[in-house]
Structure formats: C-alpha cells, structure tokens
Amino acid sequence: MELVRTEAENGLISLSQDAPLDGPSWLKDLQDKARAEFQALGLPNRRVEEWKYTDLKAAMKVAFQPVDQGDITQAQVNELLGSDLAELSTQALVFVDGQLNEGLSDLSVGEGVEMLSLKAALADDVSWVKPIGTVQQNERDAVQALNLVLMQGGAAIKIAERQEVSKPIHLIFVSTASSESSVASRLFFDIGAGANVEIIESHLSLQNQASQTNLVTEVLVGDWAKVRHVKFNNDNKESVHLSNVIGKLGKESDYGLFQATLDGGLTRNQVEIRYDGDEAKADISGVALLSGKSHADMTLVMDHAALACESRELFKTVLDDEGRAVFQGKVVVQPGAQKTDGEMMSKALLLSESAEFDSKPELEIYADDVLCGHGATTGQIDDELLFYLKARGIADAEARALLIQAFVGEALELIENDTLRDYVIDQTLAWYEKA
C-alpha cells in the first residue's frame, strides 16, 4: 500500500534529510532511527489513540522552514518579557530563532552550574549529555522522533550534587522572523542528587508571526533533588507549539512543573514522568486560557515504577469563543509500585456555547495497595455568584473577570516564586480584558 503523505509531511521529511546538529556516532544512530520512525508514522492524526482529540495531521497544512538567527537587542528582549520578568534576577539563556545567542546569554559558570549550548555539547561529545534521546521510557511518538532529527539548538545544563542554585535559570525562546518560521529545540538537564534549582521558560515572538515550535525537554532529577519548572507560552493564533517534557525522578526527589498557555494556535504540552526512585514526588499543573479558535492539549503520563511515589495534577482551563481544550491524563502504576498516591484533577470553565473541553483520565494500575483518584469538571460561570458581585456594585465584565480569576487562582497558587506567580496572574488578567 502506498502511503498518501500530506504536503506538511513531505516538507518535514525533506527537512529531516539533513540533521542540523553535528554530533557523535551515538547521536547519528539515534537520528537515523528517529528519521525512519517519522517516515513510517507520519504526522499524528485522530486515528492514533493518543492524538484522538488533536489531529495534528489535519491541522498542520504545511511545514514552515527554519530561518537564520535574526537580530534582536537586550532591550527588545526585556520589552517582550515585560518589566516584572525582565527585572527578576535570573541566569538567562536566550535562544533566537532556535539558536543560542551567546551575546544575550549569561553562560558564566556559576558554582556547580554548567551550561552549554546543545550544539557545543554534542560537537564536543561531552560525556554527561549521552542520555540525550534516551530519557524516555515509552515509545517515541512521531513528534518526538522529529525533534531528535530536526533539533537546531538548545542547551545542556548540569547542576552539581547538593548545589543550591541561587538564581533561577531562565530559558528565553524568541522568534524574530518577519514571516512564518519553524524552530526545533532541545533542552537537557542533569540535576545532581540533593540539588535545588528553579527553571523558567518563556516563549516569545518579536513580530507576532506564525511559527511551528517543536521543543523537547529532558530532565534527569537526581535523588533528593528539588526542581521547580515554570513554562509559559503565548503564541500567535496560527502557530503550532509542540512541547514534550520528559522527566525521570530519582529517590525522594521533588519535581514541580507548571505550564501556562494563553491562546496560541495549536498547542500540545505533553509530559511524561517516570518515577524511578522510591518516594519521589511530582506536581504537574497548569492553566490554559483559550479564545478564538485556539486549541490546547495537555497530555500527561505519570509512570510509577517505584514505591510510595506521589503525583499531583491540577489543570484549570478557561474557554471562550470556539476555544478547545483537551486533557489526557494517564497514571500508570507498575507492578510492585505499592503505596502510590496519585491525584489528578482537571476543571474547565466554559464562557461560550461553542467552546469545547475533552477530558480523558486513565488509570492503569498493576499494584493493589495504591491510592489513585481523578476528577474532571466542566461548568459555566455561576449566575448566583455573578449576581452577588453585581449586587455589590461590581459591573458585569469586572464581576466575570473576578470569577475567572478565582477559578484559575487555585492553580496559580501552585507557582511558588512570587514574581512569577504575579506575572502569570497579570497575563491572565490581560487575557480577560481582551476576551
């Protein structure tokens, strides 16, 4: 049978003939495999179980091309970040159109912190980046395979054992293109035992052009390490943003990931967490605020393969217009992973009749002594609450904004860094004013 390929698939296959990054033979082998996987799979579509509600093949008409690194100044980056975020004291790496911009980045070697551009780390075959492409336990999907071949740049970051990293590491991805462009990036973190670090990821666009982003983040969290990771993106309405966070947690480690999505075109935030050591904890939460025809998909796999680990997920989605959100949360408890404690909750607030929320929680449990629960709710703004606020002189629009804020607030509380939390709150407030 001959495969019928879409224009986008043909474009991606031809792009993937040459991998942009040069690396050691182990990488080339991985890339050869990944290239073949993508050719066999094509873009994920609704007939692929995990992509049932997000038909990428149908949504992505053409494959945009990567562009050369454009010009941008520190002042422009700061303006895009907004004053709160720009003033936050961080160690920042700035990726411009997929390439690490060394002039804008702070690559100074702090105590116990090693930051390398992915390009340099692979070219030099740095030994500790060898797990790249293999952190994942499950089978790669087509998007992950594509990233392995098409990745243009990114960073490899190593935190030494017991290192308390004082400033958050801020990864700033900026697109400067004046027309459609694509970016494929990869981040690799090796976080030493007992280390403590905060990671911030911002995705920004200078000219608000449509982009296709494919980002894979691999995080190895050492025993007893604590990681707080916050990611936000606010893409153009024609953009495709495909993100994968793949984490592996050591004994008694603690990983918190919070993702905020504002509008965008098609966004998929996919997360796979493997509990490798006993008593590890992860909190994977987020908010999505979607208007127009924005589509956001949150797909999670929490894979418990050790004793007494804890998973917490809280997602709040607000949908206006024809916004569409998908939540797929799967908790797997492997044989022997006794005392697993998993709680997953996804709540959507629908502001319009034409908005849609699809929720698919899944529990796959192969151990008997576990505590796992999940819930999902979909609702509208409560008229009784709205009337109460109006009966206190608060006008309709402001009353609604307060109630939306209250709805997402429960999730936003999970962002520990005050400045970041205020920043995300301000972004959400700006969204209601627009909506």
Partner 1 sequence: MLEIKNLHVEVEGQPILNGIDLVIPDGEVHAIMGPNGSGKSTLSYVIAGKDEYDITDGDILYNGESILEMDPAERVAAGLFLAFQYPIEIPGVATMTFLRTAINAVRKEREQDELSIPDMMKLIQAKAKDLGVKPDMLKRGLNVGFSGGEKKRMEILQMALLDPGMCILDETDSGLDIDALRIVSEGVNALRSETRSMLVITHYQRLLNYIVPDKVHVMSDGKIARTGGKELALELEDAGYAEYDEELA
- Nearest approach in angstroms of CB 260 to partner 1 is 17
If binding is defined by CB under 8 A, does position 365 make contact with partner 1?
A: no
If binding is defined by CB under 8 A, does position 1 make contact with partner 1?
A: no
Nearer to partner 1, 338 or 405 (CB): 405
Listed in sequence order, the residues at least 6 apart from 278 whose beta carbon sits closer than 8 Å to its beta carbon are 251, 252, 306, 307, 308, 309
Nearer to partner 1, 110 or 409 (CB): 409
Residue with tokens 């990869």: 186
Among positions 364, 387, 429, 434, the unique one binding partner 1 when judged by CB under 8 A: 387
According to DSSP, the β-strands at 254-262 and 281-290 are: parallel
Amino acid letter, 177: A
Among positions 365, 394, 425, 430, the unique one binding partner 1 when judged by CB under 8 A: 394
Among positions 406, 429, 433, 434, the unique one binding partner 1 when judged by CB under 8 A: 406
If binding is defined by CB under 8 A, does position 398 make contact with partner 1?
A: yes
Listed in sequence order, the residues at least 6 apart from 170 whose beta carbon sits closer than 8 Å to its beta carbon are 88, 90, 91, 92, 93, 200, 201, 202
According to DSSP, the β-strands at 99-100 and 91-96 are: antiparallel
Q: Enumerate the β-bridge partners of residue 227.
A: 197, 255
* Total residues interacting with partner 1, rule: CB under 8 A: 22
- Nearest approach in angstroms of CB 314 to partner 1 is 13
Structure tokens at 22: 């040069």
If binding is defined by CB under 8 A, does position 433 make contact with partner 1?
A: no
Nearer to partner 1, 322 or 398 (CB): 398
If binding is defined by CB under 8 A, does position 403 make contact with partner 1?
A: yes
Looking at 145-153, 206-214, 268-276, 377-385, which segment touches partner 1 (CB under 8 A)?
377-385
According to DSSP, the β-strands at 196-205 and 181-191 are: unpaired
Smallest CA-to-CA distance from 350 within 404, 280, 422, 281 is with: 404
Looking at 57-65, 260-268, 352-360, 403-411, which segment touches partner 1 (CB under 8 A)?
403-411
According to DSSP, the β-strands at 169-175 and 196-205 are: parallel
Site for partner 1 in 60-89 (CB under 8 A): none
Looking at 257-265, 339-347, 369-377, 382-390, which segment touches partner 1 (CB under 8 A)?
382-390
CA dihedral 420, 412, 356, 209 (to 10 degrees): 0
Which residues of the chain form contacts with partner 1 (CB under 8 A)?
Answer: 383-385, 387-396, 398-399, 402-403, 405-407, 409-410
